[in-house]
Structure 1
Amino acid sequence: MLNDFFLPLQLQIPLGGLLLSMLSWLLLEVVGRRCRPRSLLRGLLLTSRLSVAATCLLVGLGWWLALQLDPLVVNLERDGHEVRELLVAIGVAWTLVRWRQELQRDREGYAQEILPRLNEKDRLFLYDVIQKLLTISVGAILAYEVMQQLGVSAAVLITAGGFGAAAVGFGAQGVVSNSLSGLSLYVNRPFIVGDFIEIPAHQLMGTVEQISWFYTQLRSPDRQPVYVPNIIFTSTPVVNTAAIDNRRLLIQFSVSYDDRPLITAIVAELEQMLADHPMVDQAKLQAVHFTGYGASSLDLRLLAHACSSEITEAWTLQQDLLLRIGDVVERHGASMPFPTRTLLLPHQLSPAHTS
């Protein structure tokens, strides 16, 4: 009697979907809670609960409703399997989207977990690639399923490809160029997320925050977001200052003309100071030279390289060198000149100047 009641309406399909929805939520909840706290597996399992459970419920309900439709109104050639497959594809895509959101939530922690052997920059680069692949997978799944539902043939795809080529010829060059340039950035890796770059031709600079298919987002030194089309990076030179192995410091300073006999001793002490300085890279060129006779001073130059590539450490070293240069000059009894101007009032001028 129970079968006679259910089978005409095929209620076992929506009830089965409801049961499967509840079981999937419970299973993901239990297994997820047993995973290590803050782990990637725990995050993915728990974030999948809603999409997986809802998909099971909607697939059962949608398939059942499709079977109730009048064939004269909507003709489903495969007894509603088309609806089921479409809903499953949407559910899979939805789950992948939620996974991508979860990966973005704790970017650095998850990257450290799944790619522990790589350095920080390479780890974040590959992590960004994984997120991009998830996005591509979502688009590919939905596009394939839509084409399957529409019964798109190879001939139609070829025709669409012809129209696509014509669209490129009439105005989509920029979109295609930017997307291909974005792909080139991932393959060649002239810079990655976190690098500080400069584009001299366009007077742009900033820290790379995101590399998308069509543009790259920079954060300028004054914290303004800058969106740069990817085609710029393949057509103009880019300076990646993050790839510097050592920061070079070039400090210009001067002494008075009266201090010319002291220059040799000043240079010698500064050279010894560089040789003993713990923050100066001894493997790189370092020098102190007398460079010329200025308009009102004797000009000198100090060259050194910091041990680190970090700009903040280079600034610290530069400050220390400037202070030490002043101490050395003062210790030798020399002085650093500064521009002066003498103003003669009319009553102070000689008769020859007033005539």
Structure 2
Amino acid sequence: MDEVTNFVTENQEVVYHHLISIVFALVIFVIGRWIAKGITGVMERALLGRSIDKAVVSFLGSIVYTLIMIAVLLMALSHIGVQTTSFIAILGAAGLAVGLALQGSLANFASGVLIIIFRPFKAGHFIDAGGVMGTVDKIEIFQTILKTPDNKKVLIPNAQITGSAITNFSAEPTRRVDLVIGISYDSDLRKAKQILADILAADERVLAEPAPVIAIGELADSSVNILVRPWVNAADYWGVYWETLEKVKLTFDEQGIGIPFPQMDVHLHSNKQEN
């Protein structure tokens, strides 16, 4: 005991300096932990406010908290004189190794988080993404599950979705039906346009605003192409599309409006040689 007392007495300044450093390190650790919890809590509340899945929020919160606490621990150790350069190097090397090993999975994870946060689509939307067209069944961290119109289940990696264009057909409440109706050159153009207008007017699913467009789109090689563009509610799109084509064909047949097929006129010239 006397030896300890003598050592403290002889090295009083050094001991006090180390004690103060340890106290400051503990203060840094406590304050850093409080800040980490505060930042994590704010982030989790913000994500939950955007209706993000609780499991995803908890996972992201734990990652953020761990990263902040690692930084706080390194600061505390550095304050008491521990060389943290080697720890940082080891952590960096380990992070690089893990990142390279899980490159594809991390890309899918990051893309899944972006999809969940920014919500370019949600479950039930009909989309074209990653080269696949279908209805969104479920959005997961690493993949998104679509159901195609013929009832196939397709699992698409999230990185493939965010790395390409996303077309969301369900994002807006209304859609425009684009039809091209070709009639023969010898058919009555005004009569054909009136028939098309009557067909659209008789369909209750066609919206009055914006008004449907019926206009000449092209004088093609074998036909006069008429653009027919009514606006409908998104849920009525395919019904109006298919039924309008059927009504146009039946009505044109009844009214004598010809719908031509591709054809080519061939002119033969006979060259007679005089003897």
TM-score category, normalised to shorter length: 0.5 to 0.7
What is residue 95 of structure 2 aligned with on the other side? 165
What is residue 192 of structure 1 aligned with on the other side? 122
Taking a change above 3 Å as real, the CA distance of residues 164 and 185 of structure 1, as seen in their structure-2 partners, is farther
1:279 correspondence with 2:209: no
1:255 correspondence with 2:178: no
1:320 correspondence with 2:248: no
Structure 1 residues 79-158: aligned runs within 5 Å: 126=51, 129-130=53-54, 132=56, 136=59
1:309 correspondence with 2:239: no
SS in 1 for 2:230: strand
Deviates more, 1:162-171 or 1:318-327: 162-171
Taking a change above 3 Å as real, the CA distance of residues 219 and 332 of structure 1, as seen in their structure-2 partners, is closer
CA contact (8 A) 2:205 2:240 kept: yes
Name the structure where helix makes up a greater proportion of residues. 1
1:182 correspondence with 2:107: no
Taking a change above 3 Å as real, the CA distance of residues 247 and 332 of structure 1, as seen in their structure-2 partners, is same
SS in 2 for 1:244: coil
Q: TM-score, normalised by structure 2?
A: 0.59
CA contact (8 A) 1:178 1:213 kept: yes
| Offset from partner CA, 1:190-246 (integer Å, 9 cap, x none) | 1122222212xx522222222222222223344333332222333322111221322
1:214 correspondence with 2:137: no
Q: 330, 333, 337: which one pairs with 2:256?
A: 333
CA contact (8 A) 2:99 2:106 kept: no
CA contact (8 A) 1:270 1:328 kept: no
Gaps of 5+ in 1: 1-124, 145-153, 344-348
**1:270 aligned partner, one-letter code:** L
**1:184 aligned partner, one-letter code:** L
Name the structure where strand makes up a greater proportion of residues. 2
SS in 2 for 1:282: coil
Gaps of 5+ in 2: 1-49, 67-72, 78-86
Quick one: distance in 1 between partners of 2:179 and 2:100?
54
The count of residues paired between Structure 1 and Structure 2 equals 205
SS in 2 for 1:247: strand
Quick one: distance in 1 between partners of 2:195 and 2:224?
17
Q: 188, 203, 210: which one pairs with 2:131?
A: 203
| Offset from partner CA, 1:246-302 (integer Å, 9 cap, x none) | 23222222222222xx21132134224424431101112411123333323322221
Quick one: distance in 2 between partners of 1:296 and 1:175?
54
Q: TM-score, normalised by structure 1?
A: 0.47
**1:195 aligned partner, one-letter code:** H
**2:113 aligned partner, one-letter code:** L
Quick one: distance in 2 between partners of 1:325 and 1:341?
25
Question: What is the RMSD computed on CA atoms of the aligned residues?
Answer: 3.9
Taking a change above 3 Å as real, the CA distance of residues 211 and 169 of structure 1, as seen in their structure-2 partners, is same
Quick one: distance in 2 between partners of 1:166 and 1:339?
62
CA contact (8 A) 1:198 1:206 kept: yes
Residue 176 of structure 1 deviates from its aligned partner by: 2.7
Residue 132 of structure 1 deviates from its aligned partner by: 4.6
- The structure, 1 or 2, with the larger RCO (C-alpha pairs under 8 Å, 6+ apart) is 2
CA contact (8 A) 2:199 2:244 kept: no
**1:271 aligned partner, one-letter code:** A
CA contact (8 A) 1:266 1:328 kept: no
